[in-house]
């Protein structure tokens, strides 16, 4: 239960933060900026990890994880789940826009029974 | 009252999706009582639109399939803007609802101080549903009572009649099956005055063949909770 406590706290904190992000109304300029900055930090970290492979092992041990590869797997899972959640969210928003669009098209051109009869006679 | 005898202040709203075999008859039959009918075609791939027009309904076409909830909302937005429209009925395109039930519900709106009358299959013994289906519907009712405070006996009855206040209040955002629960929730949130009316649903071989399956209850729950 209490072994690897640091990594457990970190992982749980990450999931809670994802949850809070999802509860907020999204799409603000700040959220977008945070996403961009996170992405840049990830790239920088990736470069360092490639240059100094030992760094990841050191980092893993400092948070109580045995190997660097395990730490990478955990980090990957967090990013993946976060990405999935934002993708779902974006799709919902898009669905609503499409619904509005289709509804407006439908409301603009009602077809009445007389129209059909006239077409039939022509 | 001139209006009440001809029902020309009432609009029937019928979502339509691939019902070409029955929809003309359903509309023609309903038109003898309700002259104003709007069908919202939800991207049917068969002759539904032509059949609905032949039956005498105004037809709105969704360019793509969005779901029954979306079709209802489109129909409501159209009907509530029509001159003289005062009462609205949501009705099924496959003939499972009775025009006489709809008429009785509109009459109650005229006589009694309600904003919406919801049909219920379980207020009398006319409707025959399977035991499992009954059980699942009861569970849904319990769930809705706890989550919305609205006390209904039949959570997912498609036959509803309501006035202009309700038509302007309802905003269905659940495009697919979960719209019935959403309507109940909005009745609670906006404190609409509601009542139930015993109605008879005919489970014909035709409606059964469409397979309104119990699996849908799982889908409805997931639509409601996974935002």
A32 vs B153, more confident: B153
CB of A118 within 8 Å of a chain B CB? The answer is no
Task: Indicate whether A117 belongs to any domain.
Answer: no
Confidence of residue A116 (pLDDT cuts 50, 70, 90): low
The domain that holds B37 is classified in CATH as: 3.90.550.10
Average pLDDT, chain B: 87
Q: Comparing A11-20, B76-85, B123-132, which segment has the lowest mean pLDDT? A: B123-132
pLDDT more than 70, % of chain B: 89
| Pick from A92, A102, A113: CB nearest B63 | A102
Q: Please, which pLDDT band fits residue A121 given cuts at 50, 70 and 90?
A: very low
- Contact criterion met (CB < 8 Å) for B63 and A103: no
Taking the C-alpha atoms of residue A80 and residue B132, their distance in angstroms, rounded to an integer, is 39
What are the pLDDT digits (tens) for B50-83? 999 999 999 999 999 999 999 999 999 999 999 9
The 10 Å Cβ neighbour count of residue B70 is 29
| In the block, residue with structure tokens 């939800």 | B42
Residue range of the domain that includes B46: 8-225
Residues of A with CB below 8 A from B226's CB?
88
Please state, in angstroms and as integers, the Cα–Cα distance from residue B150 to each residue in A24, A52, B182, B186, B191, following that order.
Answer: 28, 63, 12, 10, 9
Asked whether residue A61 is domain-assigned, the answer is: yes
CB contact at 8 A, B4 and B110: yes
Local confidence band at B212 (pLDDT 50, 70, 90 cut-offs): low
Helix, strand, coil % in chain B, rounded to nearest 5: 45, 15, 40
Cβ pair B224, B147 in contact under 8 A: no
pLDDT attached to residue B71: 96
In a domain, A93, yes or no: yes
Number of domains in chain A: 1
On whether residue A121 sits in a domain, the answer given is no
Number of domains in chain B: 1
Instruction: Pick A112's closest partner by Cβ from B58, B63, B77.
Output: B58
In a domain, B1, yes or no: no
Among A26-40, B83-97, B108-122, B171-185, which is the least confidently predicted range? Answer: A26-40
B3, part of any domain: no
Contact check, Cβ <8 Å, B60/A106: yes
> Is A102's Cβ below 8 Å from some Cβ in B?
yes
What are the Cα distances from residue B116, in Å, to A92, B31, B113, B160, B164?
Answer: 29, 22, 9, 7, 10
pLDDT (0 to 100) of residue B26? 95
B58–A contact, CB cutoff 8 A = yes
Distance CA B69, CA B172 (A): 6
Q: If you average pLDDT over residues B19-37, what whole number do you get?
A: 94
Q: Do B58 and A110 touch (CB under 8 A)?
A: yes
Tens digits of residue pLDDT in B161-199: 999 999 999 999 988 878 888 999 999 999 999 999 999
Cβ–Cβ gap A106/B70 under 8 Å: no
Q: Which of A92, A99, A113 sits opposite B56 (nearest CB)?
A: A113
Q: What is the pLDDT of residue B61?
A: 96
Q: What is the pLDDT of residue A104?
A: 96
CB contact under 8 A, B74 and A105: no
Top-confidence range, B113-117, B153-157, B198-202, B204-208: B113-117
In a domain, A116, yes or no: no
Residue B220 or B127, more confident: B220
**Is the predicted pLDDT of residue B208 greater than 70, yes or no?**
no
Q: Which member of B58, B73, B74 has the closest CB to residue A111?
A: B58
pLDDT at residue B97, as a whole number: 92
Instruction: Indicate the average pLDDT of chain A.
Output: 81
CB B98 within 8 A of CB B199: yes
- In angstroms, the CA B119 to CA B114 distance is 14
On chain B, the residues whose CB falls within 8 A of the CB of A111 are 49, 53, 58-61
Which two three-digit tokens encode residue B91? Answer: 């009705």
Interval A57-80: pLDDT, tens: 888 888 888 888 888 888 888 888
Of A9-23, B36-50, B79-93, which range is least confident? A9-23
Q: How are strands ordered across the β-sheet holding B160-163?
A: B58-61, B36-41, B10-16, B87-90, B160-163, B116-120, B194-198
| Most A CBs within 10 Å, among B13, B53, B57, B224, to test the A interface | B53
| Contact in structure between A82 and A18 (CB atoms under 8 Å) | yes
* Domain boundaries, position A36: 5-107
**What is the band of A122 on the pLDDT scale with cuts at 50, 70, 90?**
very low
Judging contacts by C-beta atoms under 8 Å, the chain A residues touching residue B74 are: 103, 106-107
Looking at the complex, does the CB of residue A33 fall below 8 Å from at least one CB of chain B?
no
Residue B161 belongs to some domain of the structure: yes
Asked if residue A119 is part of any domain, the answer here is no
Q: What percent of chain B has pLDDT over 90?
A: 62
Q: Does B40 touch chain A (CB under 8 A)?
A: yes
Is the pLDDT reported for residue B207 higher than 70?
A: no
């Amino acid at each position: 239960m209490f072994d690897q406590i640091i990594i457990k706290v970190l992982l749980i904190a990450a999931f809670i933060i994802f949850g809070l992000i999802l509860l907020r109304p999204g799409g603000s300029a700040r959220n977008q900026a945070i996403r961009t900055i996170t992405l840049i930090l990830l790239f920088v970290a990736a470069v360092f990890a490639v240059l100094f492979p030992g760094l990841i092992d050191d980092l893993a041990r400092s948070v109580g994880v045995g190997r660097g590869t395990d730490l990478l797997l955990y980090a990957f899972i967090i990013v993946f789940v976060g990405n999935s959640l934002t993708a779902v969210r974006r799709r919902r928003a898009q669905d609503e826009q499409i619904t509005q669009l289709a509804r407006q098209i439908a409301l603009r051109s009602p077809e009445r029974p007389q129209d059909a009869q006239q077409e039939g006679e022509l | 009252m001139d209006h009440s005898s001809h029902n020309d202040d009432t609009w029937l709203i019928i979502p339509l999706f691939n019902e070409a075999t029955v929809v003309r008859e359903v509309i023609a039959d309903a038109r003898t009582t309700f002259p104003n009918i709007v069908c919202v075609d939800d991207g049917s791939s068969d002759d539904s639109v032509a059949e609905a027009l032949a039956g005498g309904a105004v037809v709105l076409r969704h360019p793509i399939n969005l779901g029954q909830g979306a079709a209802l909302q489109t129909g409501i937005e159209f009907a509530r803007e029509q001159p003289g429209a005062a009462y609205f009925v949501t009705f099924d395109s496959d003939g499972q609802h009775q025009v006489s039930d709809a008429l009785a519900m509109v009459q109650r709106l005229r006589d009694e101080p309600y904003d919406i009358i919801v049909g219920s299959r379980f207020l009398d013994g006319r409707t025959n549903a399977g035991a499992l289906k009954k059980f699942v519907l009861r569970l849904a009712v319990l769930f809705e009572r706890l989550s919305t405070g609205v006390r209904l006996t039949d959570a997912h009855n498609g036959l509803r009649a309501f006035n202009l206040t309700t038509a302007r209040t309802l905003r269905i955002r659940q495009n697919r099956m979960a719209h019935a629960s959403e309507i109940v929730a909005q009745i609670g949130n906006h404190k609409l005055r509601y009542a139930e009316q015993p109605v008879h649903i005919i489970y014909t071989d035709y409606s059964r063949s469409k397979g309104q399956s119990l699996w849908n209850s799982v889908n409805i729950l997931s639509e409601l909770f996974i935002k």
